[in-house]
Homo-oligomer: A and B are copies of this chain.
Amino acid sequence: MKKIAVLTSGGDAPGMNAAIRAVVRKARYHGVEVVGVYHGYEGLYNENYKPLDIGSVGDIIQRGGTILYSARFPEFKEGDYQEQAIERMKKAGIEGLVVIGGDGSYRGAMQLTEKGFPCVGIPGTIDNDVPGTEYTIGFDTALNTVVDSIDKIRDTATSHENTFVIEVMGRDAGDIALWAGLAGGAESILIPEEKFEIEDIVTRLERGASRGKRHSIIIVAEGVMKGHKLAKQLEERTGVKIRTSVLGHIQRGGSPSARDRVLAGLFGARAVELLIEGKGGRAVGIKNHNVVDYDFKVAFEQKHQADLSLYTLSKELSI
């Protein structure tokens, strides 16, 4: 393996730059050259390459977003595009590819590998929803951003004795809602994985009120229901004004947390090792406190499971 490429794909996540840095540094440590591919698979198809040396990834470990940019490129599903991309990489002397992104981004990598071009995947998404790994790069940072926002809103909720619905990211996975709700001391948490009864939230609000607590924080993952809609339903039932905050895009940005940077370092290094060892078609992850790698198929055949023991715990702690 003399030269590899690296790209970022899908929604950006804090720590992607730290992962790019790790890929470049680890590869250079082993004497392997690295090419950065700009704008994800679109750039791969269009040969939007640029060599990355040690200096070109200096001073990026702390930056949010991705210096390689990201883009959607649905055309890449088609075999023609993939074969062209492989041909062009080969022409440029590239022998392996690291793809940083969510499990959706792994599909192209798997198909390129099946067509004979070894690819490796690094899980980079704030949603923490890639099967086969306990954590993804960006989740811990997003979590801290959400918890910081809950802390801020709690200041107002307490001062005015208001109830707030806070809508957080998570279409299919409740990880952000669950962890942030638990860490933020939310009174109720709604996640896609668990059915909820609106009456249950109403009961909790009333129970709090009866012991003199007139403010409350309710976290809802966007996949469950719009925050504004939930607030309206609660207002109708309680007769009390409920405020809503939709955290939105701030959850994606910011300087990565210490843990996301360390994870990025571990994942980037293992990804390069896999390519050097000739093991394409695999994703890296963390499992039982150890860095692991597994066939891309696992990411498609298994389903991510949020840690539902946290759900039970949050109910017990928010009595």
Binding site for B on A (CB under 8 A): 8, 11-12, 14, 16, 18, 21-22, 25-26, 28-29, 54-55, 58-59, 61-66, 69-71, 134, 140, 143-147, 149, 151-156, 158-161, 164, 179-180, 182-185, 211-213, 243-250, 252-255, 257-259, 261-262, 265-266, 269, 287-289, 310, 313-314, 316-319
Contacts and interface: CB of A to CB of B under 8 A. Distances in A.
A261 B313 CA distance: 13
B153 A253 contact: yes
A152 B258 contact: no
Contacts of A22: 317
Given A212-B55, A253-B154, A255-B151, A159 B12 contact: yes
Contact of A249 (B71, B153, B257): B153
A156 B249 contact: yes
26 contacts: A8-B159, A25-B317, A26-B317, A54-B211, A55-B211, A55-B213, A61-B184, A62-B151, A64-B152, A65-B155, A65-B158, A69-B159, A140-B258, A140-B259, A146-B258, A151-B254, A151-B255, A152-B254, A153-B249, A156-B249, A179-B262, A182-B265, A244-B248, A262-B310, A265-B313, A288-B289
A285 to B, nearest CB: 12
A132 B287 CA distance: 18
Copies assembled: 4
A254 B155 contact: yes
A187 to B, nearest CB: 11
Nearest to A26: B316
A288 B286 CA distance: 10
A257 B260 CA distance: 13
Name the prevailing secondary structure of the A interface residues. Answer: helix
A28 to B, nearest CB: 6
A160 B71 contact: yes
A161 B262 contact: no
Contacts of A257: 144, 147, 257
A191 to B, nearest CB: 15
Contacts of A69: 158-161
Given A143-B259, A316-B25, A245 B253 contact: no
A27 to B, nearest CB: 10
A245 B248 contact: yes
A156 B213 contact: no
Contacts of A18: 183
Contacts of A180: 258
A167 B65 CA distance: 21
A268 to B, nearest CB: 8
A159 B317 contact: no
Nearest to A15: B183
A255 B255 CA distance: 11
A154 to B, nearest CB: 7
A318 B57 CA distance: 11
A253 B155 contact: yes
Nearest to A53: B211
A101 to B, nearest CB: 12
